[in-house]
Amino acid sequence: MAKEKINKISENVYEIGKEGKMIVPVRIYASEELLKDMEKDQCLQQGMNVAMLPGIQKYSIVLPDAHQGYGFSIGGVAAFDLENGIISPGGIGFDINCSIRLLRTNLTKKDIQGKEKDISKELYKAIPSGVGKGTKVKITKEELKEIMKEGAKWAVDKGYGNKEDYEFSEESGCMKEADPSCVSDTAISRGINQLGSIGAGNHFLELQYVEKIFDKETAEIFGLEKDGIVIMIHCGSRGFGHQIASDYMKLMEDEYGFANLPDRQLICAPINSKLGKEYYKAMCAAANFAFCNKQVLTHLTREALKKFFPDFKAEVVYDICHNIGKFEEHNINGKKKMVLVHRKGATRSYGPGKKELPKKYQITGQPIIIPGSMGTASYVLVGTKKAEELSFASTAHGAGRMMSRNEAMRRFKSEKVREDMEKNNIAVTAGSWKSLVEEASQVYKNVDDVVKVSDELGIGNIVARMRPMAVIKG
């Protein structure tokens, strides 16, 4: 895409003006360096394509961690009018509710030092991870349907944790509009053996210590202390959500075609159509599976660490969605209006006072959890009123890839990746050398730069920085 189309509006804010069939401009939130990375793939063109979709409001938004995805860029946000707007599976993602949960614990950095390798191996043994891996939690088809409706609460009712876990989750760990009748038997057959597993790709479980507190008052409310141990769990709806996305893309293409779309991958349906409503209900079912999955993983993590620390405790700081569609009220041209917000590789960033948040966080704004690449820092931020004004209450979800998995495989060796991590006192256990190489730190943007942009713009302010000590991957 021609660089001359990109206009600098202010520091960290760029825009591509309306042209051709674009209904709204593209708004880009990035530093100069991050913008250069974006120009290397098609994510900005994807932002322009999204700007052509019916009913889009204000802007097609590209966040600091953006890179090329399926249809929408990963790190893309768009909101659509409920009357004439659309819902697009490509704008939500194949891994519906790919998301992250942060636990604070009663351990400190000193408690873990010297035990990193043993802990990493024990967690890997306790938690199924990797492509096609099944699970130790066996459920029936009827139980899966219950999970689709109840989300994390189902797991708690079965003894996998406590209600405070899901109370500190986005949507309280359950999207109420879920309808199992909108989910295919094929999706059910893929999901039935995957509850309580991480999967592969960029999914992980990581023990970290809090290296630095930037906002002491907010950190105290979040329960974060310097050198305290936290646990980050990153996973989603696995093959279950992937199948739901695939099913509805096929149905939408059959029903509506793609002749009027700038990209076939943007296949969509009107929000108010029968198919649009059914996809949303199925998406909610997949989101609930993901919430339940992380609840089970939380329980398995607690049990594994009690083998090292009998009095071990872990409480949920927050559980947030990355790939999701939400009906939310936003200010559009000076008026409050309900819209359907697509967040694809993006984190909600609600500021103080929002009734959707747990009471504890209505004072501060919601916790935002931004993982780095494997072996680098991760961050906790806090949501802001400014984000509600600038980005439909959204900010980045991670570091963002800048190198394909194939290129990573050509350039790096697993032994070197593992060696680099061990030099930094990070113990890693992975299902394959391939997963280590594909997720090496070098394939990602600098997470420090990503969160710096978010903080400087005020769409998510930095609270704390964490460093990894033990990692498990598929």
Instruction: List pLDDT tens digits, range 275-292.
Output: 999 999 999 999 999 999
Closest by CA to 342, choosing from 15, 29, 75, is 75
Domain residues for 433? 3-473
Residue 89's SS3 state is helix
> In this prediction, what percent of the chain has a pLDDT beyond 90?
82
Please report which confidence band the pLDDT of residue 135 belongs to, taking 50, 70 and 90 as the band edges: low
Domain count, the chain: 1
For residues 214-229, average pLDDT: 98
> In this prediction, what percent of the chain has a pLDDT beyond 70?
97
Q: What is the pLDDT of residues 67-77, one digit of tens each?
A: 999 999 999 99
Q: What is the pLDDT of residues 37-87, one digit of tens each?
A: 999 999 999 999 999 999 999 999 999 999 999 999 999 999 999 999 999
Please report which confidence band the pLDDT of residue 424 belongs to, taking 50, 70 and 90 as the band edges: confident
The CA radius of gyration of the chain, in Å to the nearest whole number, is 21
Catalytic residue from among 67, 242, 299, 397: 397
* Range name among 108-112, 231-235, 405-409 with the lowest pLDDT average: 405-409
Closest by CA to 323, choosing from 294, 343, 341, 340, is 343
Burial of 114 (0-12, 13-18, 19+ CB in 10 A): exposed
Strands 74-81, 228-235: pairing kind: unpaired
- Would you state the pLDDT for residue 434? 73
Residue 242 annotated to the active site? no
Other Cβ atoms closer than 10 A to 3: 9
For residue 235, the cross-strand partners are: 99
DSSP string over 368-382: EEE--STTS-EEEEE
Closest by CA to 343, choosing from 354, 331, 328, 357, is 328
- Would you state the pLDDT for residue 203? 85
Closest by CA to 319, choosing from 133, 153, 470, 157, is 153
Taking the C-alpha atoms of residue 154 and residue 143, their distance in angstroms, rounded to an integer, is 9
329 to each of 7, 85, 100, 122, 388, how far by Cα in Å? 29, 15, 24, 45, 10
Q: What is the pLDDT of residues 316-330, one digit of tens each?
A: 999 999 999 999 999
Taking the C-alpha atoms of residue 38 and residue 158, their distance in angstroms, rounded to an integer, is 45
Which CATH number does the domain housing residue 67 bear?
3.90.1860.10
Q: Is the pLDDT of residue 232 over 80?
A: yes
Residue 94's SS3 state is coil
Residue 104's SS3 state is strand
